[in-house]
Structure 1
């Protein structure tokens, strides 16, 4: 009688060193290798490279590891522009220091990076959508200093406050940054000015360290302003270029926050906002139900984010402008956003009667569709975004878009049905730019029912960075 051994080898434990070969990159640009059938995810490595790695996490179905040394490098590898990027020295050794996890592919030459992104889109369409289509080459802009928005952590370095980003080796560690190669130049200048004031005013005591402090993080955005039409007496928002900082704070002590806001007034064209961020939560977040509001009589309260026009800024992408509040979603790369909108508008649509933008946000592309379609509708669940979209239309003196503050699946479920129908006829075009979690099944089912002529979906397939 033959006995078959069905036991599986024990997975390697934390700290175990292995030699692996990278097969491909994941959608988040990590190297993917295999060890005894298990997937091993390793940052900082490229396809075709073999490396010595150290196991950091051993799960049932996968392993996570950090690279120690590249044994065989890729011909597409290059030195990153950023000094904090996850990269080895000239001998292939990875330094025993934390590296920035803000972007992943500065180690690859540009051609290979763009081809990886093209392949990622094709694989997603094939694996998830079961669509075998030819994916065109990626349209690329400048790879550095393109971001108009950065979410930064506050940390300390040499006894001073410093901005930082999460480490690629640990979710709980922050890497202090003196510079950032993907941040827009105006944005990073504002970040430096803000940091200087924070250090002069209160210093490291401002930083939330897990037990005490005030600031958990900040989001900084650089707004480009509005070129036309010229500012009028009706405008209440800033039409010139401006910067916005939204602090995530671990306190409801409004007195100290007002002191901080007043100290930051020395920075020209800077708009300051505070949102409570529960310090018991692991992740830094911005609670839109708890924004610090300063009344005209100088008293304060914590209330739902309700951004009046005077608390907003204008942002222009290509020829299109919009009002934006401190939590408004905008594309972070203005150069590529302008190209994206232009390419959508130049697609050979079958009809030109009725277009619907199903997740319109503040409606930049929605208003742009007026150049191609007779009727345009923008749908957005976030009432603040719809409010800003309507105000933008009035200030731009073009109110032809119908704005609907409701869930897209509910609106599409009423296409041409009964007296409560929102969409009176079948759209010729539907634009889909859903949030990160994607389209709800209800939306997809509703889109299938009217058998639309054209649907445009644009959504980044993963987080690959510069």
Structure 2
């Protein structure tokens, strides 16, 4: 590998520092703006830029701290900003979000300031209520290494207390994955997923960040059998006065404070633009229906007369049907782009797509329905900016946006924006 000494001058969406060598951009994993570092070049295949990783920090940023996550320090691919002061990490996230809103979304930030990144808790550790781990030889359980297939057994600092206790003795088969979920009462539930058909005999990837990214691919891959290892097949999750019975392998937000924070933010954004009267809602990529429930329970200046909830996940939709059984909610199973043209025209659209974003087809279909208000959610900054930019080309303006540190100790930022025609 080529070794270089570089001065890091910026920060990129995705968590890398930005440096230059002979005029060429180098993205440096593990580096912060203002640092001088010695790096190994890990990818030199592109003419416009290279990728590298830090070997030694020669001149450290004052915002560099001792790693907060032992697993990341041991090489696991979990908490990529564990070495950054949490307040400064949120500042970096806000800068990166503002950058992609300008470059990819086409927004003039002078006119509309990018959001600050709000914390979802007092500390950056012990927040995760869901995780996925790989089972290796002799039943040893852990996360996959960063950019490697090695198993790291040092525990991650992200999961809530007790979620990772005593896993090696559970008897998981080599090549399977363990999906762990802590319910609202702190009870742990564990399911074993059989190895993917193309990876039999090898351990699966650990550290699921957003289950719906996998869910969106599930229709194109062979089904995996599920075995309950501990607890129940479903975990009961509660927000306010409502509870959802969610499959352990199904999607629920990873941060224990995220569902309440996101639904509260969406409701505040909608109220802030003055929506009134009787309202029909589309809840797209709606999962178990937490946004639907929030609107039904929290609307004051407007009244929700009906909701069309669309998703592809049968387990999530079953949970939605149970919790929202007495509410004016109609459940639709199918891809959003295929379903929305058959729905009643909405006044308000809530769109919470997976990491890849909604994409042009869905944005265009929403715009064609001419809703007065759209609330759009994104867990990938670039995809979020791209979707918002697409809305803007059709005459929708961002009225307000917010962002959350949904995955502390990582570069990921969750964005929420409200748009009107």
Normalised by the length of structure 2, the TM-score is 0.76
Question: Does 2:161 correspond to 1:175?
Answer: no
Question: Does 2:130 correspond to 1:149?
Answer: yes
1:58-457 → structure 2 map (5 Å cutoff) = 58-61=44-47, 62-86=49-73, 99-132=75-108, 133-140=112-119, 141=121, 142-155=123-136, 161-168=139-146, 170-177=147-154, 179-189=155-165, 192=166, 194-198=167-171, 214-224=174-184, 242-250=187-195, 278-279=199-200, 284=205, 289-291=223-225, 311-347=233-269, 348=271, 349=273, 350-352=275-277, 353-371=279-297, 372=299, 373-394=304-325, 398-414=326-342, 422-423=343-344, 426-457=345-376
Q: CA deviation at 1:173?
A: 2.3
Distance 1:243 1:288, change over 3 A: farther
Question: Does 2:35 correspond to 1:49?
Answer: yes
Match in the other structure for 1:202: none
Q: Which runs of 5+ in 2 are unaligned?
A: 206-213, 382-405, 410-421
C-alpha contact 1:29 1:464 (8 A) present in aligned 2: no
Instruction: Provide the C-alpha distance between the structure 1 equivalents of 2:376 and 2:350, rounded to a whole number of angstroms.
Output: 6
Q: CA deviation at 1:45?
A: 1.1
Q: CA deviation at 1:283?
A: 5.5
1:282-317 CA distance string (max 9 Å, x none): 9648866242589xxxxxxxxxxxxxxx84231113
Q: CA deviation at 1:361?
A: 0.7
Instruction: Provide the C-alpha distance between the structure 2 equivalents of 1:361 and 1:22, rounded to a whole number of angstroms.
Output: 41
Instruction: Provide the C-alpha distance between the structure 2 equivalents of 1:124 and 1:320, rounded to a whole number of angstroms.
Output: 36
Distance 1:389 1:276, change over 3 A: farther
Distance 1:311 1:79, change over 3 A: closer
The higher-RCO structure (CA 8 Å, 6+ apart) is 2
User: After TM superposition, what 4+ stretches of structure 1 lie above 3 angstroms from structure 2?
Assistant: 83-86, 275-278, 280-288, 317-320, 462-465
Match in the other structure for 2:415: none
1:396-430 CA distance string (max 9 Å, x none): xx33212112322233324xxxxxxx31xx32210
Instruction: Provide the C-alpha distance between the structure 2 equivalents of 1:180 and 1:385, rounded to a whole number of angstroms.
Output: 27
1:113-143 CA distance string (max 9 Å, x none): 1111112222222222212321232220231
Equivalent pairs, count: 354
C-alpha contact 1:215 1:247 (8 A) present in aligned 2: no
Match in the other structure for 1:93: none
**Secondary structure of 1:195 counterpart:** coil
* Richer in strand (by share): 2
Q: Which stretch shifts more, 399-408 or 325-334?
A: 399-408
Q: CA deviation at 1:182?
A: 0.9
Normalised by the length of structure 1, the TM-score is 0.69
Q: CA deviation at 1:431?
A: 0.5
1:254-305 CA distance string (max 9 Å, x none): xxxxxxxxxxxxxxxxxxxxx86742889648866242589xxxxxxxxxxx
1:52-106 CA distance string (max 9 Å, x none): 11223321233332322211111211222233434xxxxxxxxxxx522211222
Distance 1:450 1:393, change over 3 A: closer
Instruction: Provide the C-alpha distance between the structure 1 equivalents of 2:295 and 2:70, rounded to a whole number of angstroms.
Output: 42
Largest Rg, 1 or 2: 1
Distance 1:293 1:167, change over 3 A: closer
Instruction: Provide the C-alpha distance between the structure 2 equivalents of 1:135 and 1:277, rounded to a whole number of angstroms.
Output: 42
Q: Which runs of 5+ in 1 are unaligned?
A: 1-14, 87-97, 199-205, 208-213, 226-240, 251-274, 295-309, 415-421
Instruction: Provide the C-alpha distance between the structure 1 equivalents of 2:46 and 2:188, rounded to a whole number of angstroms.
Output: 46
Instruction: Provide the C-alpha distance between the structure 2 equivalents of 1:357 and 1:219, rounded to a whole number of angstroms.
Output: 27
Instruction: Provide the C-alpha distance between the structure 2 equivalents of 1:281 and 1:153, rounded to a whole number of angstroms.
Output: 9
Instruction: Provide the C-alpha distance between the structure 1 equivalents of 2:145 and 2:17, rounded to a whole number of angstroms.
Output: 17
1:342-400 CA distance string (max 9 Å, x none): 12112224234112111101112212211322322211123332223112334xxx332
1:213-245 CA distance string (max 9 Å, x none): x333322111125xxxxxxxxxxxxxxx54222
Match in the other structure for 1:17: 3
C-alpha contact 1:17 1:53 (8 A) present in aligned 2: yes
**Secondary structure of 1:410 counterpart:** helix
1:426-465 CA distance string (max 9 Å, x none): 3221011001111132211112223322111112235975
**Secondary structure of 1:115 counterpart:** helix
Match in the other structure for 1:234: none
C-alpha contact 1:409 1:446 (8 A) present in aligned 2: yes
